[in-house]
Structure 1
Amino acid sequence: MVLTRSAREFAAIVHLPLSLAYMTFSVTDASDPSKGLQWLASVFSGIVFCKIVYTLTGILSLQSFKAYGQLSDFGKVEWNNRGFSTFHALVAASSSLYLVLLSSTFNPGSSNELLIRRTSSLSDMTLGFSIGYFLSDLAMVLWFFPALGGLEYVLHHGLSLFSIIQSLLSGQGQVYILMVLFTEITTPFVNLRWYLDNAGQKNSNLYVINGIALFFGWLVARIVLFIYFFGHMFKHFDEVKSVYPLGFYTLLAVPPMLAVMNVFWFWKIARGMIKTLKKARHSK
């Protein structure tokens, strides 16, 4: 097939090795410009959907929740921001769950390809969509820093972007990225707690139930799942070692850092739940 001049130029650009010191990797499928366009489209869709959901959250909340109209201008910004973070969490978690557990992409017996090197159009789109979200959210966090989140949020989003972009471009380690993306399933509970607090519903039964659900959800999705994650990596370490150097060291370094952050936040969640339960018991 004869490529146009622009297509040849695009293919040449994305085929350039990406380097960091002595650690390099080459972009997969670089000879196919449509692959690069698919990646860009998925990232762009993530950004666009964040904007759409942000706007719709403001419009619907103003019509449906009295508390929204009583918020400060920044309070409305954070309310809307949590709207699109909830949307991303639901999309990313459901897509990751399907890909890892239900689809044939990462089924051990479905292919002779190493598990660490398997990809699909849906997994690429999921990673691209999440890159768009993390770019959008990180931009807002930095713009309003530190009101929307402190250094821990910048670190979390920075590490996430660093890892997801590598996995998308290299086509390696996607099964592990998707496992971590599934942990976003806890985000709706975190956001609901913030919504209820700012709506004056901190003493409601729903607030208590959500706090308990957040505690157990976090325990399963961000503590137990990470234990399984590290066990899976150890079991398939021969495959993990075959990843290009930068990706290999990223797999060794980033998940433990995220795990430490998850344990720290879990400690805060546990303290908050105990405090809420004690208060609810005394109010009876």
Structure 2
Amino acid sequence: MEMRELTVVAGSFVSFQLLFSVASPRLSSTISPGYGRLPPAKLTEWHSRLVSTVHALVVGFFCLYILWFDDAINANPVWGDPRLVKLNVAITCGYLLYDLVLLACNWSTMGDGFFVCHHLAALYAYGYVLTRGVLPYFANFRLISELSTPFVNQRWFFEALKYPRSHRMVVLNGVAMAAVFFLVRIAVMPSYWASVFATFGTADFERLGLGAQVAWITSCIALDILNTIWMYKIARGCYKVLMGRWGRKVKEGAEVASSSDRKDVSNHTD
């Protein structure tokens, strides 16, 4: 790994730590009146999720820029010029290291084995991108999935502030979360794996070596399994919220109709 990438990883780690411990408390107390009433454990996760949202937006939109305008990696997805991708991956690696430290320090309240597996699998695969500059297109394609993260975090913010699940903003965010999560993590799987299989047996693929090949394929399989599990949970939660809201509307409509019928009967009797 070159000094530039190491500097970006370290700078990313420090920046996200400062955002967590300094910027987030000040910003949150200004924009959210309910923030100050949260217990300490929830305050920690609040700051963690705000940092997560910032990281997701920065990296996600950078990914789209690279995908649309970086001709080098689109022309050669295995060995194309990785400079921009390595910069984006270094930012993400710094974030993942920061988040692993945060999880370890607050395991009793924030510990999640799925997230640890996700972070370790990502770091394992991204390590090859940073050290050897390989697979830039595929690394960048994977990072687009971060665009679903702000919606996931926003759901938690609503829950922390005790918004009812039937609240319009909660329902809209839930639908958007399920839709975006599906688009950037599930719907792209066929296209992604088609691109992967297209490299098999080529000179570029053989040039990677067994270590990079195994790291690439195994980490992708692990991440897709986790994404599928999370998609199932999100879809089930979204379905329950929508059905609950629809059921309440039907009930309210029936009550209004029943009340109207009673008034009609009363008026007719009179």
| Band of TM-score, shorter chain | 0.7 to 0.9
Which residue number corresponds to residue 263 of structure 1?
Answer: 228
CA distance in 2: counterparts of 1:92 and 1:118, whole angstroms: 19
| Aligned partner (choices 146, 159, 168) of residue 184 of structure 1 | 146
Partner of 1:278: 243
Code of the aligned partner of 1:41: T
Q: 2:183 aligns with which of 220, 238, 241?
A: 220
Q: What is the CA distance between 1:45 and its match in structure 2?
A: 2.0
Contact 1:168 1:174 in 2 (8 A): no
Residues 53 and 87, structure 1, Cα contact 8 Å, conserved in 2? no
1:65-214 equivalent positions in 2, closer than 5 A: 65-108=32-75, 114-201=76-163, 202-214=165-177
Show structure 1 runs of 5+ residues with no match. 1-26, 28-35, 109-113
Larger Rg: 2
Which aligned segments of 4 or more residues in structure 1 are displaced greater than 3 angstroms?
Answer: none
Output the CA distance in 1 between the equivalents of 2:135 and 2:74.
14
Whole-angstrom distance in 2 between the partners of 1:210 and 1:149: 25
Q: Which of these residues, 236, 246, 249, is aligned with residue 199 of structure 2? A: 236
Whole-Å Cα distance in 1 between the matches of residues 113 and 96 of structure 2? Answer: 15
**Structure 1 residue 46 corresponds to structure 2 residue 12:** yes
Alignment of 1:6-21 (within 5 A): none
Of the structure 1 ranges 51-60 and 216-225, higher mean CA displacement relative to structure 2 is found in: 51-60
Quick one: which amino acid aligns to residue 48 of structure 2? N
Identity %: 25
- CA–CA distance in 2 between the matches of 1:37 and 1:253? 28
Equivalent pairs counted in the alignment come to 245
TM-score, scaled relative to structure 2: 0.86
- TM-score normalised by length of structure 1: 0.82
More helix by proportion, 1 or 2?
Answer: 2
Contact kept? 1:99, 1:105, Cα under 8 Å: no
The answer for the alignment partner of 2:31 in structure 1 is 64
Cα distance between partner residues in 1 of 2:16 and 2:144? 18
Q: CA deviation at 1:258?
A: 0.8
Q: Shift of residue 66 of structure 1?
A: 2.0
Q: Do the aligned partners of 1:116 and 1:240 also contact (CA within 8 Å) in 2?
A: yes
Deviation at 1:146, TM superposition (A): 4.6
